Amino acid sequence: IANLRAERAKLLGYKNYAEYIISNNMAKTPEAVYDFLNKVMEPAMVAAKRDRDEMQQIIDREGGNFKLAAWDWWFYAEKLKKEKYDLDEAELRPYFALDNVRDGMFYVATQLYGLSFTKRTDLPIYHSEVEVFEVKEKDGKHVGLLYLDYHPRPSKRVGAWCGRFRQQTYEKGKKVDPIVTIVCNFTRPTDDTPALLSWDEVNTLFHEFGHALHGLFTDGEYDRIAGSLARDMIELPSQIMEHWAGEPDVLQIYAKHYKTGTPMPVDLINRLQKSMTFNQGFETVEYIAASILDLDWHSFSEPQKVDVLEFEKSSMQKIKLMDEIYPRYRTTYFNHIVGGYAAGYYVYLWAGVLDSDSFNAFSETGNLYNPEVARKFRKFILTEGGNDEGMIQYNKFRGKEPSIEPLLKKRGLK
């Protein structure tokens, strides 16, 4: 596959497939991506080694008499997390009733953009569990419809995603409003308990809602570019919403105990906040390792005959990957690079820089719902879609190019 892609890139006038793909992204060149990944890798590796040493201390205290290995990492990471933060998922779930979390994300969108969400029971639905909300502007103007499909059932694929029944477009000069869907696989409610989400699921719902807002706000003349962005920018609308999910003031709005209705205690919020940076060194390093492996496979200038395992080994030696961490995906099960993300796995971390820097645009004003910042983000990021170059759009919103510093701070790497 890598050789065929190398041939294709050469036929199209590019040095390699990575150059062909990235030329249309914000990064523009593979060299810029390598440089970016290396800049983040350095502090991430320091944090990962620190966590490794602390886990080794746990092993030694318990009389394990062995050296931490890659397959031990998650087991001892959980022990270290419990030791550091005394945080248990079971302690959090009662505060994350699905309906409350949904109302919390609607609250954020209302504060940012003045939207209203009205449940509609008179519209067709494809399953009895699906909810439909009409989305309107502050002045009552119709924006679109949002379908929410929360729970697993036979024939439904796993995971969570945002889709569209109808893309925003124009027909004969008249705007056709979008119909957007969020589909998840959250645990069902029982007779006496509502659906209670994990913290990861809370972030998932906010994440997909960010994609949904992008789909609702987009205003493109052609449906091919409506709701689109540069590939390494496409996760910005979704990932920025996750920031609000974990803000203490926002948690006070929606994180309420399903039995008593009392808000999440401040102590628990503080412990949750502190835990958000835990293990980020490891997660960042394993991600970057996979991203570099992806880029290396797509940097052939000519077809090559290579041994897969030896190629991986050489790729990881180049970045001095520590023995206790493997790439998040190895070549033989790296679905992303055969499923549309070839030479593009790096985009999630690139978008992490964008969302952290973008959120800073709000927080540095002292108002997480600053109306002028929200207006610019909506106009230049969510509405314009693929109408312009990604970096040009970002500069219009932010007034500068993105910095990696907010990302490093958010992940506890600085």
131 catalytic residue (yes or no): no
Cα–Cα distances in angstroms (integers) from residue 275 to residues 51, 241, 268, 271, 353, in the given order: 13, 19, 11, 6, 20
- What is the distance of C-alpha 23 from the center of its chain? 23
CA distance 334 to 332: 6
Q: In this structure, what are the phi and psi dihedrals at residue 178, rounded to the nearest 5 degrees?
A: -80, 155
Q: Which residues contact 72 (CB under 8 A, 6 or more apart)?
A: 55, 59
Catalytic choice (201, 208, 312, 324): 208
Handedness of CA 9, 228, 206, 351 (dihedral sign): positive
* Angle between helices 347-363 and 390-398 in degrees, nearest 10: 20
Query: How many Å apart are CA 104 and CA 197, to the nearest integer?
Result: 13
C-alpha to C-alpha distance for 311 and 296, rounded to whole angstroms? 9
- How many Å separate Cα 258 from the centre of its chain? 27
- Positions annotated as catalytic residues are 208
